Structure 1
Amino acid sequence: MRSFGTPSRVATVLLTATVGILAPGLSPLTASAQQGTPPPGTPPGSAPLVPPPVDMSKLPAATNKPDKNYVKKIQCVTRDLDNNIPLPDIPWAQKYLQLDKVHDHMRAATNGHVGKTPTGEIIRVAVIDTGVTPHPAFGQPVQQGGDYVHPDGKGTEDCDGHGTEVAGIIGARKQDDIGFMGVAPDAQIVSIRQSSQNYQVEDKPQTPAAPPSGEAGQPSGSQPPPSSGGEESGTEEPPESSGTAGSSASDTVPGQGNQGRQQGGQGAGNLTTLAQAVRTAADTDGVRVINMSVDNCRPASGGGITPEEQALQAAVRYAVNKDIVVVAAAGNTSETCKQNNQPDPSKPINVVSPPWFTDDVISVAAIDETGGVASFSVNGPWVTVAAPGTQIISLDPSKNARIGDFANQTVEGEQVLPIQGTSFASPYVAGLATLIRAKFPNLNARQVMHRITSTAQHPGARSGRDQFVGYGVINPMAALTAVIPGEDKIALSTPYQQKLPAPVALPSDLPPANDGPKAPMIVALSGTAGGVVALLITMFVVHTVRRNRPDTPNKPA
């Protein structure tokens, strides 16, 4: 029998582009903003903390096609067969979250399922990412959801490797001799490819296309100023890398977590296509949860919301209004996305979207093995909760991976690095939302969000929330079992639970209460008390008489 800790069929995945590192697009920014520096004369921290009200007129259409012509410049990820590595029996994140006990509870509560309702209805989770490569360890076949990278794509090609690893944390089954498993292995992944750094803008000259929706104001054929980048880092904060300039308005220039990952040119993915992908996911039958481990980081100074952000904000609200829980990574620090460590936590240096739209999004920060906040996790007033995001183990994202193929490292040039980032904390929360939706199908999206936040391990802040972990690290067992105030009038039972025998009140160890007349007991207690008092008086009198009687002289015998 092959154990999970042996090197057999356990691969280090060679990622020649982004693993855990995505940053879809930006709005038009000045050159100084592209470098992460506020425009001259702009006071630091002057950007609005709260996004403006949602403008649903900005809701984009679900085009389901790329915004530009992209070509594959970097080959897809491969398995490094010469560097097989042993993996631990059970990842630390699973132990920390007690997933084994959580799964036992779900099987008992939902007729043997972990990610389906008690009646067997499949919960679908849309993963908006770099695509998801089908893997035999997925509990359900990966469903094609759409492709914003290649016009003929279906979303099930993952050249970057990032999306498959994210999806594995949500929906991978536990194998007999391997400890890794997803949070909701009976759920079905719906893959929507929205980003890729292996695909880049075609080099050959072509007639400039009209600006996409949300980029009004740019003259036709003009070259807008470059934009800055953001999430997602697949390694620790140092070393940081610099993004590559040369992008057009709203295009992605990721703030890489490792040097050398940005190979030059323009990768696919921006806020416009991200908004369209959210609309696509929301319109897909059966999708109850959306996970976005892709986002954008920009300087907070320099004005309010951008047109691209408005479109994404409207798309997220659209999804929640359709009863879908939206989960997003909080973002990672990089050269172009500095940590929000300013004196006033309520006035961040950088704004991260979609986490910025905290009214409608669960924004997930990352913790490390010590339980503390990971150094790369971006702080901010929008952070909702936290989950494990370091020393990640997940499915091997390379094509034709076998049942025992997993990955816990990435090779970048001469560097062998761990897989980590808030990208991988987010799917733990998306998986938890899936389990809640399976056990309590009558809860709506906002009630599911409230159940997650109210049962988290709250930090020591006076308000029970801070800018590091939000409401705290998630507690899956509590989220699935706690009695939440305000849910008492919601029918939480399911058809399966309604078939169970009615609960019966069990007798306690205490005798039943005596509800008879009180007079006999009063008389008995009064008589007893009187007898005790009389006895005490008698003893006192006898003792006093003996003490005061004069001594009698001894008589001769």
Structure 2
Amino acid sequence: MIVAVIDSGVADHSDLSGSVLPGKDFTDPAGSGRTDIDGHGTAMAGEIAAHGRDESGALGIAPDAKILPVRVLTRGKFKGDLGSAVSWAVAHGAKVINISLGGGITSNMFTALKAAEEANVVVVASAGNLPDDRRITAPAFVPSVLAVGAVDRGGNRDAISTTGSALDLMAPGTDIMSLGLNNGYKAATGTSDSSAIVAGAAALIRSKYPELSAREVVDRLESTAVDKGAPGVDPEYGHGVVDIIAALSVGTSATTDQPSANPSTGANNPPAGSSPFATSRAVAPTTRSMGSSSLLFGSATVLAILGGLAAFLILRRRRSRSD
């Protein structure tokens, strides 16, 4: 399963060895998307598809996925057209596209997203972070895009996560540990991480149920989400908090016969001066002991939300001291 990460590029990391395809660099004609001086894109790729190494390292949500890096950012600054990046990703085989960034909207972006929808591609984007983003940002507010907000350790909306009628789904976004530059690791909080987690979930569903359309994949994620806030779809939680186990386990009829009762149709106007990164604050790593393993998500709600699929989350496995 090919997942395009439209971001700041993806740097070399042993936990992604063999999982990153040659991509496209819209900031440098000579590049291939394999350069990342910011680290944001590498972190998103890790949350989606890190596969660890030996008895250490990290595991992403969909460790068998292939990452297609599409670089449109340098140090938080757009230098490439997002619409062109989406079009390129679709043309080069992406079945899921993650866009953990936000900004302005162009006619080219609308055209590209429409083409992605017609090409049966799931597009996931971060909803945006307060206070930089005052409402659901572009491209997340586009109806065909799955807009994802962040929940905290208690499974409640993180204060950083924007709200609005275009919000579709929530996922863990507080103290998320992922890959860093120079073969390292880092933690951050924001809807960028939530988006990457949901993109990984979409990749898992598309791998298990290849016959499902992109719309059916989204419906499956929405209809199996854990309802939070006001009953039903609401501007604070959308359809609710993602439940990957339920989305993977329920029969195919859950999507074809029981689609989400209220698919996203909202489209807010993009805010002026939106920040390009949805992750706007870094945090110190928090380790939760799990026997010989350590869950680096720092978000206790992950286990409740994702159940047994915690084994696929970002884990750092350590040999016991007796080895």
Paired residue secondary structure (1:137): helix
Q: Which runs of 5+ in 1 are unaligned?
A: 1-122, 198-253, 255-266, 298-307, 339-349, 409-418, 490-557
In structure 2, relative to structure 1, the CA distance for the partners of 1:152 and 1:386 (3 Å cut) is: same
Q: Among residues 73, 83, 89, which one is paired with 1:275 in the alignment?
A: 83
Q: Among residues 378, 382, 385, which one is paired with 2:166 in the alignment?
A: 382
Q: Deviations over 1:505-538 (max 9, x none)?
A: xxxxxxxxxxxxxxxxxxxxxxxxxxxxxxxxxx
Say if 2:182 is the partner of 1:394.
no
In structure 2, relative to structure 1, the CA distance for the partners of 1:473 and 1:133 (3 Å cut) is: same
Q: CA deviation at 1:176?
A: 4.8
Counterpart CA distance in 1 for 2:47 and 2:160 is 20
Are the counterparts in 2 of residues 144 and 154 from structure 1 also a CA contact under 8 Å? yes
In structure 2, relative to structure 1, the CA distance for the partners of 1:486 and 1:362 (3 Å cut) is: closer
Partner of 1:147: 25
Matches within 5 A, 1:151-550: 151-178=29-56, 180-197=58-75, 267-269=77-79, 273-285=81-93, 287-296=94-103, 308-334=105-131, 336-338=132-134, 350=135, 352-357=137-142, 359-398=143-182, 401=183, 405-408=184-187, 419-462=188-231, 464-483=232-251, 484-485=253-254, 487=256
Q: In the alignment, residue 284 of structure 1 is paired with which amino acid?
A: H
Counterpart CA distance in 2 for 1:371 and 1:268 is 32
Paired residue secondary structure (2:220): helix
Q: CA deviation at 1:406?
A: 2.2
Q: Deviations over 1:345-381 (max 9, x none)?
A: xxxxx45111111x21111101111111111111111
Are the counterparts in 2 of residues 140 and 187 from structure 1 also a CA contact under 8 Å? no
Counterpart CA distance in 1 for 2:257 and 2:125 is 29
Counterpart CA distance in 1 for 2:255 and 2:124 is 23
Counterpart CA distance in 2 for 1:453 and 1:310 is 28
Counterpart CA distance in 2 for 1:486 and 1:177 is 38
Q: In the alignment, residue 72 of structure 2 is paired with which amino acid?
A: Q
Are the counterparts in 1 of residues 124 and 199 from structure 2 also a CA contact under 8 Å? yes
Q: CA deviation at 1:392?
A: 1.5
Are the counterparts in 1 of residues 43 and 180 from structure 2 also a CA contact under 8 Å? yes
Q: CA deviation at 1:268?
A: 3.3
Q: In the alignment, residue 268 of structure 1 is paired with which amino acid?
A: F
In structure 2, relative to structure 1, the CA distance for the partners of 1:351 and 1:459 (3 Å cut) is: closer
Q: CA deviation at 1:487?
A: 2.9
In structure 2, relative to structure 1, the CA distance for the partners of 1:391 and 1:466 (3 Å cut) is: same
Q: Which runs of 5+ in 2 are unaligned?
A: 259-323
In structure 2, relative to structure 1, the CA distance for the partners of 1:406 and 1:293 (3 Å cut) is: same
Q: CA deviation at 1:458?
A: 1.5
Larger Rg: 1
Bigger share in strand: 2
Counterpart CA distance in 2 for 1:466 and 1:485 is 21
Are the counterparts in 2 of residues 139 and 188 from structure 1 also a CA contact under 8 Å? no
Q: Given the two structures, how large is their TM-score scaled by the length of structure 2?
A: 0.75
Q: CA deviation at 1:323?
A: 1.1
Q: CA deviation at 1:150?
A: 1.3
Aligned length: 257
Q: Among residues 2, 5, 8, which one is paired with 1:130 in the alignment?
A: 8
Counterpart CA distance in 1 for 2:255 and 2:102 is 33
In structure 2, relative to structure 1, the CA distance for the partners of 1:136 and 1:351 (3 Å cut) is: closer
Q: CA deviation at 1:311?
A: 2.0
Q: In the alignment, residue 288 of structure 1 is paired with which amino acid?
A: K
Root-mean-square deviation over aligned CA pairs? 2.0
Are the counterparts in 1 of residues 84 and 112 from structure 2 also a CA contact under 8 Å? yes
Q: CA deviation at 1:140?
A: 3.4
In structure 2, relative to structure 1, the CA distance for the partners of 1:381 and 1:170 (3 Å cut) is: same
